[in-house]
Amino acid sequence: MVESTWEARELRILEAVATGEEERRDQMNNDDVAELTGLEPEEVERGLLALIDATPPYIDGAHAAAGGELCYLIGIRLLERGRREVRQWPPDSATAFIEELKQRMENSSDPVERSRLQKLLDAALSVSREVLGEVLGAIATKQMPL
């Protein structure tokens, strides 16, 4: 069975890039990420490749040829998706809606209300996050006073 590398590798890389940005490290690269994470260079390379190849990507950077690496980047920076993962930005509306429903279910002492919230959560999870986000965005736009 293939094990998840998210917490052990990719999330650590995102946190390292966020740290590097906060420290204003200029032209952050694989070596900087390896230093900040303690990961081996090969692990950093695999993680960066996964993060830049995701759709949409978590990070951006310029590919640089360096000794045959699959993915050696300079100028590594977080993109919107990466910032959301390290909690530098608020979650998208769909994620926030789902988390709010879960929180209200946990806090409700009324079993009927909890059941209704579960049905709403199940319905929200049955559509894509993109569609849910678009619906919530359309509602928010209509609710904005002019």
- What pLDDT is recorded for position 144? 62
Which structure tokens are listed for 42?
């090969």
pLDDT category at 69 given cuts 50, 70, 90 is low
Which structure tokens are listed for 45?
């390379």
Calpha distance 104→110 (Å, rounded):
11
Model confidence pLDDT, tens digit, residues 114-140 = 999 999 999 998 988 788 888 887 887
Which domain range does residue 38 map to?
Answer: 6-85
CA atoms within 13 A on the CB side of 67: 6
- Of 12, 64, 21, 15, which Cα lies nearest the Cα of 39? 12
Q: Are residues 70 and 120 in the same domain?
A: no
Q: Are residues 75 and 135 in the same domain?
A: no
Domain boundary among 85, 111, 128: 85
- What pLDDT is recorded for position 1? 85
Whether residue 62 lies inside any domain: the answer is: yes
Q: Are residues 24 and 60 in the same domain?
A: yes
Extended strands (E) in 59-127: 59-63, 73-78
Model confidence pLDDT, tens digit, residues 8-17 = 999 999 999 9
Q: Which residues contact residue 90 at a Cβ distance below 8 angstroms, ignoring those fewer than 6 apart?
A: 84, 96
Give, as one character, the DSSP assignment of residue 9: I
Whether residue 125 lies inside any domain: the answer is: yes
Whether residue 1 lies inside any domain: the answer is: no
Question: Residue 20, Cβ neighbours under 10 Å: how many?
Answer: 21
For residues 126 and 63, the model is more confident at 126
